[in-house]
Structure 1
Amino acid sequence: MTILHRNDAASVATLTMDAPERLNALSDDMLAALTSAFDDIAADASVRAVILRGTGKAFCAGHDLKEMQAGRQAPDGGAAYFKDLFDRCATMMQRIQSMPQPVIAQVHGIATAAGCQLVATCDMAIAADDTRFGVNGVNIGLFCSTPMVALTRNIGRKAAFEMLTTGRFVDAREAQDLGLINRAVHADALERETSELAQSIAKKLPAAVKIGKQAFYAQAQMSTAEAYAYAGDVMVQNMLIADTDEGINAFLGKRPPNWS
């Protein structure tokens, strides 16, 4: 059974997690499928934007707890398996932000624990207005330490710490206010709104978007002075692209750009 489907149309790759009976949990198989798909898309110059979504009642409910409990049967109580699991998950999450194409999460139902981490990791997110978000592992005695990494890079520290320590869920409107998602829309408009955002990005110069995405995450780790110096160098690289020259000339000439 295929648990991840890819469909390409109009320069947008749509990845659909299809394990509804497990609420699209990040099982070993799902992690492997997502990592492979993101690697393939990153090398595919025909793809300019990516949509990640799920089937069934949930976007993603986090790690597969049944698999995790089965890992305890090892002689070391599961220590090696757990370390490998969280390392593989971190690799997949970081791949999303290192690939050249922007990735948009199309979220519905629930996004919990590592599923919420997945939303926070994607470059953008559109959610149905009845979606709920939570880093609720603390409710079962497991603090969401790895989801915390992505969450605290999206929202304020105090709000993040409250979610992490109480297991409280937030609705889509609050998630938007906190900065976890770009916007909440009516469920009937979710697919259309996400597609329109992806298509808007797909129409831009791919080389500029690639340079910009890389710079966006790199500068965020720097001091202000370092970031300006780095970003200035990036602007120079961007200006020297032939298609950027064409884009500026087209703007000045009040005509559409003829990008290669």
Structure 2
Amino acid sequence: MAAGFAKVSGKVLEELRKIPTPAIANAIEAFEIRPRNMGFCDSRMHPVFADVGPIAGYATTLTVGADLPYKAAKSADRSGYWKHILSVPEPRIAVVRDMDDQPVGAFWGEVNANVHLSLGCIGTVTHGGVRDLEEVEELGFAYFATDVLVSHASVYMIDYGIPVNVCGLVVSPGDLLVCDIHGVINVPMEIAEKIPEMVKKQAEAERIVIDYCSSGNVSVEGLSSAWNQMEEARRALSKKM
């Protein structure tokens, strides 16, 4: 049902999923298409489950709140939100921003995890709260979040299908995300297919220093030489892009 969104091949998506996000970040830098301090979530975002993930997929977006008296919480159209999810290519990652100053109620729990899993979502990236940890981990649904909470309070949906800011990363519907133990990064679609090869070549450049450090015969002069060789190899890669 997805239409109007760019996507990469399943092979490339699986390759990206297996690459550590720090290596992806380094590879993106070589293409010089965005500032080095942008494109990823800050330290507030973290994986909740050690054994669920890494994941790679396309973003759906939603804003929520919970810090209101129950009768005052008027929710956006739920079926419209579900249709928005289905408009994005699979596999999907549900990106949610809690608009309260301090999250007090979790949008995510066992029920919503099951709903989203049935709609092709493999996990969530949430600037807000999650709960029902044991049940959701058993589902294999990935939680990347800022908060673990007890209650859903008066949680309600505000809007969906719009750009949202999660821990400093602005995510739009259809954005390609990779999430692992380090956090969450946006992979620009225009270079996504080139990332795996760049990661491989950068690793070869880094081996110059790593191998020298493992040689058992290290000096400041030798280390400086190895470091300069690595930097030159990195610069050569950037020039080829």
Per the normalisation by structure 2, the TM-score is: 0.29
Quick check: which has more Rg, 1 or 2?
2
Using CA pairs under 8 Å that are at least 6 residues apart, name the structure with larger relative contact order, 1 or 2: 2
Per the normalisation by structure 1, the TM-score is: 0.28
